């Protein structure tokens, strides 16, 4: 049986979906765009957007009772792969700051993202 995960520490869904679904041993987050849940604002810089998207993922994973170290897979959607090195630097710093191993990851360029942001990140976390 699945359980819906919801937290005020991440932006509310902007469509007919939930922030995450907990299947018991796996938690699947919806894609997180870089909206600050407190202000509703989006930073201009891709590195700041990356950090905010990851912070949103972290809040959801923690609402499920897990931590960043439990994330086993991420998918990163970017508007411009020319930002790949900036995204990688922010991504690496985030996992190191959270004393977490790097998960498996895919990164793809997309034509457009909701609210015209530059990045969206989804994750799968595992309850061990």
Q: Is residue 40 within 8 Å of residue 72, measured between CB atoms?
A: no
End-to-end alpha-carbon separation of the chain, Å?
18
Catalytic residues: 107
Compute and round to an integer the Cα radius of gyration of the chain. Answer: 14
Spans of the chain below 50 pLDDT: none
Q: Is residue 18 within 8 Å of residue 10, measured between CB atoms?
A: no
pLDDT for the residue 119: 98
């Amino acid at each position: 049986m699945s359980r819906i995960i919801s937290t005020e520490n991440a932006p509310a869904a902007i469509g007919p979906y939930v922030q995450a679904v907990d299947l018991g041993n796996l938690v699947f987050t919806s894609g997180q765009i870089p909206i600050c849940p407190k202000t509703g604002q989006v930073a201009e810089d891709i590195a700041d957007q990356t950090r905010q998207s990851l912070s949103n993922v972290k809040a959801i994973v923690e609402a499920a009772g897990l931590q960043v170290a439990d994330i086993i897979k991420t998918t990163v959607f970017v508007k411009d792969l020319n930002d790949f090195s900036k995204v990688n630097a922010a991504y690496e710093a985030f996992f190191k700051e959270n004393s977490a191993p790097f998960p498996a990851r895919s990164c793809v360029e997309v034509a457009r993202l909701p609210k015209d942001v530059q990045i969206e990140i989804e994750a799968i976390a595992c309850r061990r």
